[in-house]
């Protein structure tokens, strides 16, 4: 079994692959500082809760956008699992050619999303990840990463509302029954969700216009992606495990003996 780890700004998402199938997945909060012992124990306990023996994990790969957790996380894997994980970083074999001004500035999570979207769904493809930030990345039919868009995530926008406007409360992010809110909470939900739908549809259309293609497949991932994907015909596929699948596909390209 292979352990794939996606370290995001909000959560660390882990997936266990047996063959090409995900047999378990779980999340850990990112923002709490932890030692290597804590990471080792937490990962071991969560695996056992999913009826997986830690000794069944034969290798691991990490994709991270949070550098300051890497030392402890890697240390936990080395100490408790006796594994030195692969890290998705500049120079690693991915099968995606990054055609941007500075390829090293592209986040590891975006590379994993690009690999997953292109290899599973084909190109040209626009992959949208509704995470802490909302990212849109275009990969052409030959597997070239041509560029992307970065926007505030839905939770960032929501947090800005209730932290910077004194009378606005913290709310659940969900689609209200109507676009015209009847009270403060539903008006905020409307602005957040319908605003994100509008942004998504506009950016998809503008990308298609700029690259001169109408047959671009749109693939969405990320925790809040389901809300948006269910509300617009501009999105073709919602794949909640796309990033983990992409990380695993990158792992397979390394041809590491386990």
Dihedrals phi, psi of 147, to nearest 5 degrees: 155, 175
The secondary structure of residue 32, as a DSSP letter, is: S
Nearest partner of 79 among 87, 71, 90, judged by Cα = 71
Instruction: Please name the helix (run of DSSP H) or strand (run of DSSP E) that holds residue 154, with its range, or none.
Output: helix 154-164
* Letter string b/e over residues 175-200, b meaning 16 or more CB atoms within 10 A of that residue's CB: bbeeeebeeeebbbbbbbbbebbebb
Q: Which residues are annotated as catalytic?
A: 109
Distance of CA 31 to the CA centre of its chain: 16
Nearest partner of 199 among 128, 138, 140, judged by Cα = 128
Strand order in the sheet with 125-130: 97-98, 144-152, 133-139, 125-130, 217-221, 237-238
Q: Could you tell me which residues come within 8 angstroms of residue 143 by beta carbon, excluding any fewer than 6 positions away?
A: 95, 96, 97, 118, 123
d(CA 97, CA 112): 12
């Amino acid at each position: 079994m292979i352990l794939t780890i996606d370290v995001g700004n909000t959560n660390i998402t882990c997936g266990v692959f047996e063959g090409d199938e995900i047999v378990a997945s779980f999340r850990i909060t990112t923002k709490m500082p932890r030692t290597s012992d804590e990471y080792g124990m937490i990962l071991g306990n969560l695996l056992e809760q999913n009826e997986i023996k830690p000794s069944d994990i034969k290798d691991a790969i990490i994709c991270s956008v949070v550098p300051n957790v890497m030392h402890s996380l890697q240390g936990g894997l080395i100490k408790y699992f006796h594994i030195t994980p692969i890290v998705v970083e500049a120079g690693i074999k991915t099968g995606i050619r990054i055609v941007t001004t500075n390829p090293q500035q592209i986040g590891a999570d975006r590379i994993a999303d690009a690999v997953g979207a292109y290899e599973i769904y084909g190109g040209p493809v626009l992959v949208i990840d509704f995470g802490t930030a909302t990212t849109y990345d275009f990969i052409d039919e030959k597997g070239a990463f041509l560029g992307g868009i970065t926007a505030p995530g839905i939770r960032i926008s929501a947090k800005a509302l209730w932290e910077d406007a004194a009378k606005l409360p913290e709310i659940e992010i969900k689609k209200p029954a109507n676009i015209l809110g009847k009270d403060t909470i539903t008006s905020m939900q409307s602005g957040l969700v319908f605003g994100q739908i509008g942004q998504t549809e506009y950016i998809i259309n503008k990308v298609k216009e700029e690259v001169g293609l109408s047959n671009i497949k749109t693939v969405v991932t990320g925790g809040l992606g389901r809300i948006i994907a269910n509300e617009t015909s501009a999105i073709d596929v919602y794949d909640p495990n796309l990033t983990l699948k992409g990380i695993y596909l990158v792992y397979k390209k390394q041809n590491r003996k386990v």
